Amino acid sequence: MSERLIQKLNILADAAKYDVSCSSSGSDRKNTNKGVGNGHQSGICHTYTEDGRCVSLLKILLTNHCIFDCAYCVSRRSNDIERAAFTVDEVVELTMNFYRRNYIEGLFLSSGIFKNADFTMERLLRVVKKLRLEENYNGYIHLKTIPGASDELITEAGLYVDRMSINLEMPTEVGLKLLAPEKSHQDVIKPLGFIKNQIVQFKEEKKLIKSVPKFVPAGQSTQMVVGATPETDKDIMYTAANFYKSFSLKRVYYSGYIPISNDSRMPILGSQPPLLRENRLYQTDWLMRFYGFDVKELLNDNNPHLDTDIDPKLSWALRNMHLFPIDINTADYQMILRIPGIGVGSAQKIIQARKFGKLYIHQLKKIGIAYNRAKHFITCADTPFQLKDFQSHQIKGFILAESQSKYLKTPNEQLLLF
């Protein structure tokens, strides 16, 4: 009995792991009636796998039987793999026992589509309801919205879970049609829009009537596979920006494609997943969400791809040298945020600290900015006077010479002639 359970867990955790989202933040659900569990506003990562990704939630599929045949997915119907399915009770038992031992922050439940969308969604809903109503469980639940499920089921699920998500999979409609002819972006857009409207509506009602229940308090997210089809970084980020705006998404995840089959439409088995590219996309995503950058500033027709050797913020700064140097002691917050080597925390500290007097280099260093990088773009109280005006490629050279990126395998120094 327990051996079969271990086996099932292995199969269904393995099938679920390509969903990147593991965040447990954004929900402040309280532990009511002396039950078990509560939300943690900033989330908790309980451990990290050997690939460095956080493990916050018990991420499993209810089953990996699926009626679809999407080329990028391990669980596609034509793939010859072991199939398994959990019962509702098994998922509940696992979640409760892991949670009580402080292994996890909650449950991430997804599923292959068996029979039809409503049938699958109804099963997922049963797990969620059992946890909330019978086990008095108030921990985090992330539930996949099954495309094509009825509005009633989705609304009901939204009342019990913290986050819902539904994956775009391919950044463009063309890419999706190529690999999964049975699907379209429209299948994703409809439920995303529906849930977004519900969230807004519930929030409005809650303003008037306090007893209105929470509806998907931690919002929605989505995911795109990167590198399976030949989209540019610009395509990917424009789609992401559009989805952030239209559906008030909390997160868009980018998942570097890991070859899982010998399909001629995609990278061959054994090729390296595009980890660096994925990293650059996340950096761009962060710049859009926290640093006040517009996606058009970072990626446009002149720069359809992100630089691989330097991060997008530095790359933007080097393209816009006419805006620098910025005086740390007078510039406004938005501009300080745009300086390479200064993050949100340091920018806020600088704004506070300079009210008490001009800031000097040693103070900036102590505050924690990456001074060796930032020094090319700032002036402060004791910046040495410099006659020479460096060009952006020279600055790039200085910075690259100092940095030790694990991605730079080949030295990029100029060789000596003699």
- Least CB distance from residue 263 to another protein, whole Å? 16
- Least CB distance from residue 32 to another protein, whole Å? 9
Query: Closest CB to another protein among 168 and 359?
Result: 359
- Least CB distance from residue 21 to another protein, whole Å? 13
Query: Closest CB to another protein among 154 and 226?
Result: 226
Query: Closest CB to another protein among 18 and 316?
Result: 18
Residue 298 burial (CB count, 10 A): 22
Positions that interact with another protein (CB under 8 A): 2, 5-6, 9-11, 13-14, 16-18, 30-31, 34-38, 40, 44-55, 58-59, 94, 97-98, 100-103, 136, 256, 258, 272-273, 275, 349-350, 352-357, 359-360, 363, 366-367, 406
Give CA–CA dist 253/73, Å, rounded. 16
Give CA–CA dist 191/154, Å, rounded. 8
Query: Closest CB to another protein among 90 and 235?
Result: 90
Q: Is the peptide bond prior to 325 cis by the omega test (within 30 degrees of 0)?
A: yes
Residue 327 burial (CB count, 10 A): 14
Query: Closest CB to another protein among 97 and 242?
Result: 97
Query: Closest CB to another protein among 108 and 324?
Result: 108
- Least CB distance from residue 354 to another protein, whole Å? 8
Query: Closest CB to another protein among 58 and 339?
Result: 58
92-129 per-residue burial string, b: 16 or more CB within 10 A, e: under 16: bebbbebbeeeebbbbbbbbbbbeebeebbbbbbebbe
The single residue listed with the structure tokens 């939204």 is 158
Give CA–CA dist 137/159, Å, rounded. 14
Query: Closest CB to another protein among 171 and 256?
Result: 256
| Nearest residue to 232 via CA among 316, 295, 313 | 295
- Least CB distance from residue 42 to another protein, whole Å? 9
| Spatial contact of 160 and 153, defined as CB atoms under 8 Å apart | no
- Least CB distance from residue 271 to another protein, whole Å? 9
- Least CB distance from residue 44 to another protein, whole Å? 5
- Least CB distance from residue 84 to another protein, whole Å? 12
Query: Closest CB to another protein among 109 and 157?
Result: 109
Query: Closest CB to another protein among 20 and 199?
Result: 20
